[in-house]
Amino acid sequence: MLQICFKKTSPLTGPLTGLFMLTLSAAIIITTTPTHAFSEDKNWPCAQRKVEKLSAGQMWRGSPVDVKDTSWQTNDKITALTKEILPRRITLEQTNKTITKFASENKDNLEPLMKQTFLALLNETNQIRSEIIGGIGRFTKRQKDLAKRITTNRQKVTELEKNDEDGTLTKEQDKQLVALERSLEWDQRIHEEREQSLDFVCEAPVLLEQRLFALAKQLNAPFEKK
Amino acid sequence: MKNFTKSMALIFSLSLLSTTSASAYTVYISNEKDDTVTIIDSKTLKVTDTIKVGQRPRGITLTKDQKQLLVCASDDDTVEVIDRQTKKIVKTLPSGPDPELFILHPTGNPLYIANEDDNMVTVVDIKTNKVLSEIGVGVEPEGMGISPDGKTIINTSETTNMVHFIDSKTHEITHNVLVDQRPRVSIYGPAGKYVWASSEIGGTVSIIDAKTKEITKKISFKIPGISQDTIQPVGIQLLKDGSKAFVALGPSNRVAVINTKTYEVEKYLLVGQRVWNLGFTPDEKLIFTTNGISNDVSVIDVASLKVIKSIPVGRYPWGVVIAND
């Protein structure tokens, strides 16, 4: 059985990682071979070019954030807010309400707080995303290995069938042929199912990117209006 | 004081008006994942309708008389022709497999279609529905352009990393120009002297002399706070006077504004996610960008170079075309 394991990296990643573990455990039976011949990473199966890490500048529309600022790590207010808005089960409507309330309670120091919250979200999202991207790479390799096994077994079956036609098939070979045919049928079915789920697998990092962008917009909104 | 307030209010409302297009144009957006085309009014910047089309709509353009809309339904292996008045599909054109992008001859016919899965450019007479020719090009053809005089067709092939120059009469490739990895969009500048070609993986835009076929300039991009691998140039549009070029930079979520005299990037505008293609309103006051991941369209005011609005559309907006009325 193919497995993709995700490490829980911080308490903040809990629910989201859990969701993606679920998503990708469904994808355990899903792997693929690269469809874009010119992807830079041979084990990257998605049509979208692989982007290892999301950058602050991709998301943040206000004045530049200092990515070296790690003060969010020791700020309880930010930890609490991040915990509340990061999980994907929380709708964007809810996160917007939470952020607006947070903004109204922290008017004096709003911009630095929002920037630090964004940095916390960026950091958490990049960690989860990197685990998913690693998982996609591993599972693509497994799909390639499966494709290789299918080719080898198909060749063996052809040889044994030839023996059968020639009347030279031994009893032992007959047993082998039956087992190989059964295994081939399963392998092909699994391979095909995984191929069909490629879009779904490739969507996982995109969904994280999509959510971070939306959250960054919400965090930026209160002091943009000021 | 009262008069002053009134004047200020007037100035304010006038300034708001000036950020939108003076005339009402109709903006059409193809939504790759929703199998729809979104229609936007350029004056109100509101979605007025959504049309159901074939599977995976990508390339989108208008007939010369602007009465019909042409849409590449990539997964249906066809080009759909939609009547703009009734918003109904009136016919389909034989496109060859997996049509992605196309360009209409300046006279209005024929249509040159890039077939991504078949390494071909299909030439179709849009009046008779006949395939006139199939031109073999590089692997995974994508971008399609044509010189203002209609004599030369250009096509990019994503895997071969080339811009092919094709004689529109003989349908023969006359020149191949090697550019950076995964070329996407290629267009002629307004005077037809230069070809602009974007390279998604290479992260550059090559400027090719249309006469000598030499690359005269290669533009790279550097955005503070953004890693280089997210800077993936795709859509290109140039102002009619050739003074500025706008380049969509994919997952960096930015549009680069380039001074075409110096080839310097004057500004990087943050739009939506995975910005893909761009389209000017006919008066060039606004530019619309399709943002594939954030499922919206950003509207840029060309004079102020400011993003003035984000309009939610269907899933994975891809192409954009804007009609005169």
- What is the band of A48 on the pLDDT scale with cuts at 50, 70, 90? confident
DSSP state of A66: -
Q: What mean pLDDT do residues B261-277 have?
A: 96
By the CB < 8 Å criterion, does A66 face chain B? no
Q: Are A72 and A116 in contact (CB under 8 A)?
A: yes
Q: List the structure tokens of A195.
A: 């191929």
DSSP state of A28: G
- Is there a domain that residue A195 lies in? yes
- Is there a domain that residue A20 lies in? no
Distance, in Å, from the CA atom of A205 to the CA atom of B266, rounded to the nearest integer, reads 32
Helical residues (DSSP H) of B163-237, grouped into ranges = none
pLDDT of residue A40: 62
pLDDT of residue A199: 81
For chain B, give the number of residues.
325
Distance, in Å, from the CA atom of B105 to the CA atom of B142, rounded to the nearest integer, reads 17
DSSP state of B224: T
- Is there a domain that residue A77 lies in? yes
Return the residue matching tokens 């249906």: B76
Distance from CA of B225 to the nearest CA of A (A): 5
Q: Do B226 and A213 touch (CB under 8 A)?
A: no
- Is there a domain that residue A156 lies in? yes
Secondary-structure breakdown of chain A: helix, strand, coil percentages, each rounded to the nearest 5 = 70, 0, 30
How wide is the angle at C-alpha B179 spanned by C-alphas B196 and B119, nearest 5°? 95
* Whether residue A225 has pLDDT greater than 70: no
The SS3 call for residue B204 is: strand
Residues of chain B with Cβ-Cβ distance to A56 below 8 Å are 225-226
- Is there a domain that residue A84 lies in? yes
Number of structural domains found in chain A: 1
- Is there a domain that residue A127 lies in? yes
Distance, in Å, from the CA atom of B307 to the CA atom of A220, rounded to the nearest integer, reads 15
- Is there a domain that residue A35 lies in? no
Residue-number span of the structural domain to which A72 is assigned: 59-225
Residues of chain A with Cβ-Cβ distance to B251 below 8 Å are 48-49, 51, 58, 209
Distance, in Å, from the CA atom of B293 to the CA atom of A194, rounded to the nearest integer, reads 24
Q: Do B159 and A56 touch (CB under 8 A)?
A: no
Q: What mean pLDDT do residues B302-325 have?
A: 96
* Whether residue A223 has pLDDT greater than 90: no
Q: Are B206 and B168 in contact (CB under 8 A)?
A: no
Distance from CA of A37 to the nearest CA of B (A): 8
Q: Do A49 and B294 touch (CB under 8 A)?
A: no
Q: How many CB atoms lie within 10 A of CB A108?
A: 6
Q: Which fold has domain B55-220?
A: Methylamine Dehydrogenase; Chain H (2.130.10)
pLDDT of residue A41: 73
Give per-residue pLDDT as tens, B109-150: 999 999 988 899 999 999 999 999 999 999 999 999 999 999
Q: What percent of chain B has pLDDT over 90?
A: 89
pLDDT of residue A26: 35
Distance, in Å, from the CA atom of A6 to the CA atom of A91, rounded to the nearest integer, reads 24
Q: Which of A140, A181, A127 is nearest to A159 (CA)?
A: A181
**ipTM summary value:** 0.73
Answer with the residue of higher pLDDT: B20 or B99.
B99
Give per-residue pLDDT as tens, A55-74: 999 999 888 899 888 999 99
* Whether residue B175 has pLDDT greater than 60: yes
- Is there a domain that residue A162 lies in? yes
Q: Do A214 and B294 touch (CB under 8 A)?
A: yes
Lowest mean pLDDT of A105-114, B4-13, B183-192, name the range. Answer: B4-13
Q: How is chain B split into domains, by residue range?
A: 55-220
The SS3 call for residue B206 is: strand
